[in-house]
Amino acid sequence: MRIKENGNCLPAAVHAGKGCYSGNNTLKKIKKHWQLYLVILFPLAYIIIFQYIPMYGVQIAFKDFIPTEGLFGGSWVGFKYFRNFFSSYNFWTILANTLGISFYSLFAGFPMPIIVALLLNEVGNRKFKKTVQMVTYAPYFITNVVLVSIIIQFLSPRIGIVNNIIDALGGERINFMAVPHFFKSIYVWTGIWQNTGYNSVIFLAALSSIDISLYEAAIMDGASKLRRIWHIDIPGIMPTAVILLILNLGRIMNVDYEKILLLQNPLNYRTAEVISTYVYKLGIERADFSYASAIGLFNSVINLILLVVVNQIARKTNETSLW
């Protein structure tokens, strides 16, 4: 038998008749803080039920799945549907659209919340600061259906405010939704407008945790606001930025299919079709479940590889990583 002394288990020969039960402390903590563990139980159950258990259904990507026969029915076909996707005539177009929109969103959208947070952090008037936060934060709560309706109305060639301004300046009206090369910009910049305020909250929280003595020392040394931002604020939020960048790169293949699907039309289809909308159309509209599952699995594997690779690079270069 062993006991604990100063956190370490010692032989029972030293303390005869006494035991060391390392599991008791954990059990006591659970009993003492059972309310917290109860709160954790619900999201944990959600993840297990809706995220992990459904992974068993991934096997239909390797089968000729027949819904009436269930997951255990159907014959195994190996990588047939993966080969079909890779050899399909629109594979490279869909992949290029997905990566193009994703990287465009990342490069244009990722710095915006950081810039907004840095600017708001320098605002001294609390009322003005709260007003700006509310105005930039509010669009996040607009649903995609409403947002797309607003976009279509604003860009309408007949009544849209954008075309009215162009017409007033002597230009010709443009049917933006019918021009394929405008699609990516419309999707990305409306997304930036919608999400920048919400994402800036994370960086504002990171800025609030910076030791105020650093600012006081910088002011005493005569550092300007720009210098304080460059040498204190940016290094202070860098770990948070790196973690968010890793997470964003880990889902680079996941594009908001709902918004894209609502913005799609036959005229902009060649630049608007992405993997997520293609999977939706195959699985829901055409009921080709095996083919759709194979494409979805390919998408998830690429995301996983990117997440692991980027995390490793971040850990070696910046010493900040998810694990």
Let me know: does 238 contact 151? Beta carbons within 8 Å. no
Q: Are residues 308 and 281 in the same domain?
A: yes
DSSP class of 67:
G
Q: Are residues 87 and 49 in the same domain?
A: no
Higher pLDDT, 110 or 30: 110
* 23 vs 1: CA distance, rounded Å: 14
Q: Which residue in the block uniquely carries the two structure tokens 């960086």?
A: 203
- Residues 6 or more apart whose CB falls under 8 angstroms from that of 260 comprise 101, 187, 272, 274, 276, 277
- Tell whether 74 is covered by a domain: no
For the chain, what's the residue count?
323
Longest dimension (CA), the chain: 97
Q: Are residues 83 and 56 in the same domain?
A: no
Range name among 19-23, 242-246, 293-297, 302-306 with the lowest pLDDT average: 19-23
- Tell whether 38 is covered by a domain: yes
Listed residues 60, 90, 108: the one ending a domain: 60
Tokens at 190, concatenated:
């409306």
Q: pLDDT by residue (tens digit) across 175-184?
A: 999 999 999 9
Q: Are residues 214 and 311 in the same domain?
A: yes
Higher pLDDT, 23 or 52: 52
Q: Are residues 171 and 260 in the same domain?
A: yes
Listed residues 10, 26, 60: the one ending a domain: 60
Q: Is the pLDDT of residue 15 over 50?
A: no
Q: Are residues 214 and 306 in the same domain?
A: yes
- Tell whether 246 is covered by a domain: yes
- Tell whether 66 is covered by a domain: no
* 69-78 contacts, C-beta under 8 A, 24 or more apart: 74/290, 77/290
- Tell whether 207 is covered by a domain: yes
CA neighbor of 240 nearest in space, from 117, 129, 133, 136 = 117
Tokens at 151, concatenated:
């976009």
* Total domain count, the chain: 2
Q: Is the pLDDT of residue 2 over 70?
A: no
Residue 320 is predicted with a pLDDT of: 76
| Owning domain of residue 120 | 79-317
- Tell whether 294 is covered by a domain: yes
Range name among 52-56, 110-114, 273-277 with the lowest pLDDT average: 52-56
- Residues 6 or more apart whose CB falls under 8 angstroms from that of 149 comprise none
Mean pLDDT of 234-263: 90
Q: Are residues 127 and 89 in the same domain?
A: yes
Q: Are residues 54 and 88 in the same domain?
A: no
- Tell whether 298 is covered by a domain: yes
Q: From residue 24, how far is each of 4, 10, 19, 21, 233 by CA, in Å? A: 11, 16, 11, 6, 44
* 129-137 contacts, C-beta under 8 A, 24 or more apart: 133/197, 133/200, 133/201, 135/197, 136/196, 136/197, 136/200, 137/197, 137/198, 137/201
Q: From residue 232, how far is each of 25, 209, 244, 289, 309 by CA, in Å? A: 41, 12, 19, 52, 29
Q: Is the pLDDT of residue 96 over 70?
A: yes
Helix pair angle (289-317, 80-87), 10° resolution: 80
Q: Are residues 15 and 102 in the same domain?
A: no
Mean pLDDT of 17-38: 73
- Tell whether 67 is covered by a domain: no
Q: Which of 47-61, 136-150, 244-258 has the largest mean confidence? A: 136-150
Q: Are residues 102 and 188 in the same domain?
A: yes
Q: Are residues 32 and 159 in the same domain?
A: no
Q: Is the pLDDT of residue 168 over 50?
A: yes
Residue 23 is predicted with a pLDDT of: 56
Q: pLDDT by residue (tens digit) across 275-307?
A: 999 999 999 888 899 999 999 999 989 999 988
Q: Are residues 33 and 111 in the same domain?
A: no
The CATH number that applies at residue 266 is 1.10.3720.10
For 2, phi then psi, to 5°, come to -135, 155
